Amino acid sequence: MENVELIDDVLVEPIISYSKRHGLTKLYHPNPKIVLQRMELYRGLKILDVGCGTGVLLYAIAKLIGTCELHGIDVNENAIRRAQKRASAKIEFRVADAARLPFTNDYFDYTICSNAFYYFKNKNRALIEINRVLKPGGRALILEGIGRMDYKQKLDKIMRQSPFIKFSRKFIERTAILQKSYLISAVK
Ligand SMILES: C[S@@+](CC[C@H](N)C(=O)[O-])C[C@H]1O[C@@H](n2cnc3c(N)ncnc32)[C@H](O)[C@@H]1O
């Protein structure tokens, strides 16, 4: 397997410029491309983005590693349609719920969930599903911008209680200006 180095144009932008461009309401939505810094990308990987929206992150990954298998699911039909329209890379987008992933067991090397976990109605179930579709040794990355202490406590509890995910929560230095971004990294 060949490692692929990150290239300049998809490197993470400083969160400050992201926030400026998108306005204050997006302050708690860290740039999903931040997860690229934590991924060991190489050709042949099978990657799933859960709650992929319009597929921004998957297209960035496709740009980095040409030959790989990329999938994105989201409950929002419009978002999936928009993701499919880009068609600049071969990525499979599907309308599906995180609580019921349409994939077989032990399939993916990586599952990513960026700025989406908060919106999942059944978070415990989503974790079970994420774990189910990961290969043994596969990695789950969950990126959340957390502005409210009550949600942070809830999320901590969900993660700690999950028999499936042992996590080490990390503070992301790049977003230190906000001090609200967490990347949960778990290995199956
Ligand atoms: C803030 S957007 C983030 C989109 C993308 N991951 C990103 O970082 O740009 C949250 C996404 O989660 C999706 N979502 C909400 N509940 C979901 C569920 N149960 N299963 C899958 N996707 C869900 C929404 O439709 C939305 O596209």
Cβ proximity of 31 and 94 under 8 Å: no
Reported confidence tier of residue 21, pLDDT bands at 50, 70, 90:
low
Ligand 1 centroid – CA 58 distance (Å): 13
Find how far residue 144's CA is from the centre of its chain: 9
Q: How far is the CA of 116 from the centre of ligand 1 (A)?
A: 4
Judged against a pLDDT cut of 50, whether residue 11 lies above it is answered with: no
- Work out the pLDDT band at 171, boundaries 50, 70, 90: very low
User: What pLDDT was estimated at residue 169?
Assistant: 53
Determine the average pLDDT of the residues in 151-179: 65
Question: What pTM does this model have?
Answer: 0.86
Average pLDDT rounded to a whole number, residues 72-88: 93
Decide if pLDDT at 49 tops 70. yes
How far is ligand 1, taken at its centre, from the CA of residue 125, in Å?
15
Ligand 1 atom with minimal separation from the 56 CA: 9
CA dihedral 6, 126, 53, 170 (to 10 degrees): -40
> Do 117 and 142 form a contact (C-beta atoms < 8 A)?
yes
* CA gap 110, 28 in Å, rounded: 24
Phi/psi of residue 70, each to 5°? Answer: -115, 135
Alpha helices, DSSP H only, in the chain? 15-22, 56-64, 77-86, 123-133, 149-161
Alpha carbon of 52 to ligand 1 centroid (Å): 6
Residues 155 and 146 sit within 8 Å (Cβ to Cβ): yes
- Under a CB-based contact definition with an 8 Å cutoff, are residues 54 and 78 in contact? no
Domain ranges of the chain: 8-20+28-187
Report whether pLDDT(5) > 60: no
If one residue of 47, 119, 120 were mutated to test the ligand 1 pocket, choosing by the most ligand atoms within 8 A of its CB, it would be: 119
Give me the helix-helix angle, 123-133 and 149-161, nearest 10°.
Answer: 50
Cα–Cα distances in angstroms (integers) from residue 164 to residues 78, 93, 118, 129, 169, in the given order:
32, 26, 18, 10, 15
Name residues contacting ligand 1 (CB within 6 A): 32, 51-53, 56, 73-76, 79, 97-99, 114-116, 119-121
Probe target for ligand 1 pocket from 75, 80, 94, 182, with the most ligand atoms within 8 Å of CB: 75
CA of 56 relative to ligand 1 center, distance in Å: 12
> If DSSP codes are grouped into helix, strand and coil, which group holds residue 13?
coil
Q: CA 81 to CA 75: how far, in whole Å? A: 11
| Ligand 1 atom closest to the CA of 98, numbered from 1 | 20
Ligand 1 centroid distance, CA of 64 (Å):
23
| Better-predicted residue by pLDDT, 115 or 186 | 115
Please identify, in words, the CATH class of the domain defined by 8-20+28-187.
alpha beta
Edge-to-edge strands, sheet with 46-50: 91-95, 69-74, 46-50, 108-114, 134-145, 181-187, 167-171
12 in Cβ contact with 174 (< 8 Å): yes
Q: pLDDT digits over 122-150, tens only?
A: 999 999 999 999 999 999 998 888 777 78
What's the N-to-C CA distance of the chain in angstroms? Answer: 21
Predicted local distance difference test score (pLDDT) of residue 65: 86
Q: Quote the mean pLDDT of the chain.
A: 80
